[in-house]
């Protein structure tokens, strides 16, 4: 009996590995096909604009509110610690650097994954379950270029804009708490911030990060939707997987990008 148990365990590990690798292969192929057939999403730009409305504009409220509160909390907590060392004038650079470099892109990507990514997965999964995608194929309309590619580009365009707005409103939140409520000197708040934040090193790198996260989150959401088993349970599992996988991928990618971008120079 123990032999059979061991054998069963091994075979299930093998099955999981083979399954995972082939899913990864399918995902890469799907990603490539999306890129190749994305010409239509620019030729018929209104398809993409429609999707930017659903992924970008509809995520605005949650992004702006979260950004404001994250900035306000940073202002409060940063002040708590900095005033112990008598350097509360560095509050501006603390708030701006942590938002522009890390919190802006990462938190915006996590919120984007749960707000827009899950919706994309559910939508495409249901389209597949109700055989709308097959119907399109039947009418000689390529579902990848008509449905998938516009959503991909909408996500890639929206994500950096959302991250920039998150950082900007976060800095405003930090200003609100630090300068308006607590009373840190306004001049040193802004001047220390401007002295510490470098355009090329901090802001451009933050934008690059958010573009990468946008590609990753949207590609994962689209693939999970497209790959979902055409059942109610399958779509619900796929939606959950989108959020979990995107969050893990975003955090992992963030670490890798940070290692390459900021080496403490």
Partner 1 sequence: MERTTLDMWVGAFVVGGLVALLILAFKVGNLGGYDGSETYKVYGEFDNIGGLKIKAPVKSSGVVIGRVSAIQFDNTTFRAHVEMRLSKNYQFPKDTSAAILTSGLLGEQYIGLEAGGDEENLENGDKFKLTQSAIVLEQLIGQALFSKAADEGDNKSAVK
Shortest spacing between CB 258 and partner 1, in angstroms: 18
Considering only 6-14, 52-60, 119-127, 233-241, which stretch makes contact with partner 1 by CB under 8 A? 52-60
Among 202, 224, 227, 254, binds partner 1 (CB under 8 A): 202
CB neighbourhood size of 36 (10 A): 11
Q: Residue 88: CA atoms inside 13 Å, Cβ hemisphere, count?
A: 19
Compose the 1-40 pattern: x for residues touching partner 1 by CB under 8 A, - for all others: ----------------------------------------
- Given the complex with partner 1, which of 45 and 244 has the nearer CB atom? 45
Binding flag, residue 84, partner 1 (CB under 8 A): no
- Given the complex with partner 1, which of 46 and 263 has the nearer CB atom? 46
Considering only 24-32, 188-196, 220-228, 241-249, which stretch makes contact with partner 1 by CB under 8 A? 188-196
Handedness of CA 124, 127, 128, 133 (dihedral sign): negative
Running DSSP on this structure, what letter comes out for residue 47? H
**Collapsed DSSP state (helix, strand, coil) of residue 79:** helix
Binding flag, residue 106, partner 1 (CB under 8 A): no
Binding flag, residue 164, partner 1 (CB under 8 A): yes
CA-nearest of 148, 160, 181, 132 to 51 is 148
Binding flag, residue 211, partner 1 (CB under 8 A): no
Angle at 210 (CA atoms; ends 81, 199), nearest 5 degrees: 65
CA-nearest of 18, 50, 27, 47 to 225 is 27
């Amino acid at each position: 009996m123990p032999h059979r148990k061991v054998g069963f365990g091994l075979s299930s590990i093998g099955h999981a590995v083979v399954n995972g690798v082939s899913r990864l292969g399918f995902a890469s192929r799907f990603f490539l096909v999306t890129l190749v057939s994305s010409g239509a999403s620019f030729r018929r730009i209104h398809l993409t604009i429609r999707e930017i409305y659903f992924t970008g504009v509809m995520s605005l409220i949650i992004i702006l509110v979260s950004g404001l509160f994250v900035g306000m909390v940073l202002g409060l907590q940063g002040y708590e610690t900095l005033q112990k060392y008598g350097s509360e004038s560095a509050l501006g650079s603390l708030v701006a650097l942590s938002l522009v470099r890390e919190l802006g892109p990462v938190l915006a990507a996590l919120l984007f994954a749960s707000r827009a990514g899950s919706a994309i997965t559910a939508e495409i999964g249901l389209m597949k379950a109700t055989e709308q995608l097959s119907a399109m194929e039947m009418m000689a309309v390529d579902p990848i270029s008509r449905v998938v590619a516009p959503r991909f580009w909408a996500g890639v365009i929206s994500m950096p804009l959302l991250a920039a707005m998150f950082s900007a409103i976060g800095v405003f939140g930090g200003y609100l708490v630090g300068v308006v409520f607590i009373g840190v000197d306004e001049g040193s708040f802004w001047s220390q911030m401007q002295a510490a934040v470098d355009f090329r090193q901090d802001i451009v790198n933050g934008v690059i990060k958010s573009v990468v996260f946008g590609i990753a989150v949207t590609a994962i959401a689209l693939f999970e939707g497209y790959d979902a088993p055409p059942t109610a349970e399958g779509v619900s599992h796929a939606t959950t997987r989108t959020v979990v996988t995107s969050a893990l991928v975003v955090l992992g990618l963030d670490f890798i990008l940070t290692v390459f971008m900021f080496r403490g120079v």
